[in-house]
Amino acid sequence: MTKPLIIVESPTKIKTLTKYIGTDFKVAASAGHIRDLPIKTLGIDVDKEFKAEYVNIKDKSKVISNLKKLAKNTTDVYLAPDPDREGEAIAFHIMDILKKKGRKFHRVLFHELTKKGIKEALLSPGDPDIDKYDAQQARRKLDRLVGYQISPLLWKKVQRGLSAGRVQSVTVKIICDRERQIRAFEPEEFWTIDADLTAFNPPGFKAALVKINNKKIRIENNEQASQIVLELETAEFIVKDIKAKTIKKNPLPPFITSKLQQDAINRLRFSAKKTMVVAQQLYEGVEIGNGGPEGLITYMRTDSTRIAQDAAIEAQDYITRTLGKEFALDEPRFFKNKNKVQDAHEAIRPTSVFHSPDKIKQFLSEDQFKLYELIWKRFVASQMAQALIDQKTIFIQAGKAYLFSVSGSTVKFAGYMAIYSQQKESKDNDIQSLPDVEVDTLLKRLAILPKQHFTKPPPRFSEASLVKELEKNGIGRPSTYASILTVIRDKGYVDLVKRYFVPSELGFIVNDLLVESFPNLLNISFTAKMENNLDDVETGKLKEVQLLTQFYCSFKKSLDDAGENMVSVKGVGVDTELACPTCGKELKIKIGRNGHFLACIGYPECSFTSNYTRDEKGTLSIVEKIVDNTKVKDCIKCNKPMIQKEGRFGLFLACTGYPECKHTESVNGENSSKDIGVKCPEKGCKGAVLEKKSKRGKIFYGCSSYPDCSFASWDKPVAKPCPECNASFLVEKETKKDGKFLKCPIRECSFKEFE
């Protein structure tokens, strides 16, 4: 009898699975999705209940062929892609290509890749979840309808290569809205007044003025501050009241996906994308010792704070053994989920707390160790005793009118803080130690310290705070945050400047056009409601077709209106309120092949164009062009003089024979390109490969002997011969599946070298 077949999503899981199931099963991997909507067409029939046209993914033919081969004569197929919506879609597509009379399909969910987790999943398989599959289908179709129907509109009205997305566009709007708040912000002056005091015994301390005549204060200018300081210079400072209390602090629950991303960004400086990649590695299995690979954490895409009873009990056992009974709980602590969170998966936790970070550090990469330690500490801390903090506040009367206060705290019992210090508690180090004083104690005034301040605008979003904002507003799902943040940067809508998101000029232009034409689609509450509707599809409360019909009815109307009425930045341009310095007519922002620029509406009579800049308030300024008429060199094409000019990509040399001769060069000639240390591979050529920029600013690699040699490559050549076919160089490649690697440029040669 043929062995049953287990099909997982990731090839890296195969080794971990095989370790525990031995030879009782055949195991194969789909390497992600095997079918999807077609690339070149919409692939959705909106007139036939949004029926999707699925096709096999082009480079998955070998995978599909292998799955069919392994499934031949097999009666039982266990579908084990990841336990989420995407995994369910993969399971259904595998089932579709392997369907055969008499063959049975079983859905198994590996929440953790351990002996116990794998055994339990195989002993209690279920049926593929049609509602979860429909929810994934609904999301995929929504994203396709939006992306494939708005993007061509942007190509026509703005420039080719742009894209819109149901969630990505709302994310860009959030960033643009925040930037406009910052630009519109007007700082307001205010002052604070502190007093350096001592009780004639150390330590000295600093108290803040909090009330005048029993009213909260706002000191608006130097004059007010100076008057108060003058009165305080002669006032007696006497302890009026002392309030002391012990605060009980509870630990945070174990990580859900969004909170893990936020903490990893803040504490480890990981990006959201990197966090998920490393977490996937820890989930799928790591070699620890000679026992083979083992999954170190539970599934990392979850909104639930639920933990298994046996995991909580194991944590209590570990805490008692290693830290002492006083740090453990009498009963495990469990956390309630918020709102409509789906409870299919546990929170992210170590599969065994006895795999302490220090114990397995030698088997992990640096990044794996850092993230695992974060997950492990958060989980263990969640099962530890409360921290007890003694807090004391001293109120000080100065004269008749002024009240100062100062607070200090000490840790009475560290509790969970012995393992994991929450972010807010890191500020406790800045809280002062206070002297032992009693009510009516006279204090000595050392100095009165007035200080000027200005209110600050709301901060720009970091990756962590943007993830938090998306989560707070119910936009997208934690599993999609990393890809959203990557896409909006790759498309050039935002830049990450000093770890904060700043919208680009293109981002503002596209955002404003979409907000004008698709107000519902760019509405935060509308997007959040759509996420709730998708959850309802998953739970069977709403049918996929109902959701799509409701959405598409209004969307199609907006789409048709936008086709007629959306402003063409290519043609009409964006208003600026700037006057042309040549003819006085209005300047508008337009976008051409080489980016955005200012152009006069008087064209062709007035051909004025210019680069522009914006100040912190968003005000536009014309960038004066640099034209140096001093002859630099003779043109290599026509021998006429070349002069220096400034274009949208900076300074360049232009032939004075224009328009008959259109030859241009970089300011320092061709040699200003970067030499990467690789000889040109073309036979008989003595040139070197240089890093260059295309007209659109994209990096490519070409020969220094151009135009005599036409060698060019988008992939970076590396001075390393191919060991299989003896090609003179390899090229650098990077994919989501394999990461960075070297590859032979010869199509017929399959050599790859991984880092």
Catalytically active residues are 299
Structure tokens at 29: 């991997």
Please name the residues in contact with 706: beta carbons below 8 A apart, sequence gap of 6 or more.
670, 687
Q: Are 508 and 502 in contact (CB under 8 A)?
A: no
Measured in residues, the chain has a length of 755
- Closest Cα to residue 462, out of 425, 505, 422, 497? 497
Sign of the dihedral defined by the CA atoms of residues 58, 62, 63, 68, in that order? positive
For residue 485, give the amino acid letter: L
What sections of 291-409 are H helices per DSSP? 309-322, 357-360, 366-382
Q: Are 90 and 105 in contact (CB under 8 A)?
A: no
Angle, helix 115-123 to helix 13-21, in steps of 10 degrees? 80
Inter-CA distances, 208 with 56, 191, 390, 436, 449, Å: 68, 11, 20, 18, 9
Q: Are 134 and 483 in contact (CB under 8 A)?
A: no
For residue 437, give the amino acid letter: V
3-class DSSP assignment, residue 212: strand
Please name the residues in contact with 568: beta carbons below 8 A apart, sequence gap of 6 or more.
156, 157
CA dist 467 and 716 (Å) reads 33
Parallel, antiparallel or unpaired: strands 51-52 and 44-45: antiparallel
Sign of the dihedral defined by the CA atoms of residues 292, 296, 299, 301, in that order? negative
Using the CB atoms, write b or e for 480-514: b if 16+ within 10 Å. bbbbbbebbeebbbbeeeeebbbbbbbbbbbbebb
Structure tokens at 348: 């992210």
Residue 471 C-beta-side C-alpha neighbours within 13 Å: 22
Sign of the dihedral defined by the CA atoms of residues 181, 185, 190, 195, in that order? positive
> Given its phi and psi angles, is residue 66 left (phi above 0), alpha (psi -120 to 50 degrees) or beta?
alpha
H helices, E strands: number in the chain:
17, 37
Query: What is the distance in angstroms between the CA of the first residue and the CA of the last residue of the chain?
Result: 42
Dihedral, CA of residue 437, residue 441, residue 446 and residue 447, to nearest 10: 100
Inter-CA distances, 649 with 490, 516, 597, 666, 694, Å: 19, 31, 11, 10, 11
Please name the residues in contact with 223: beta carbons below 8 A apart, sequence gap of 6 or more.
none
Residue 411 C-beta-side C-alpha neighbours within 13 Å: 14
Parallel, antiparallel or unpaired: strands 717-718 and 730-735: antiparallel
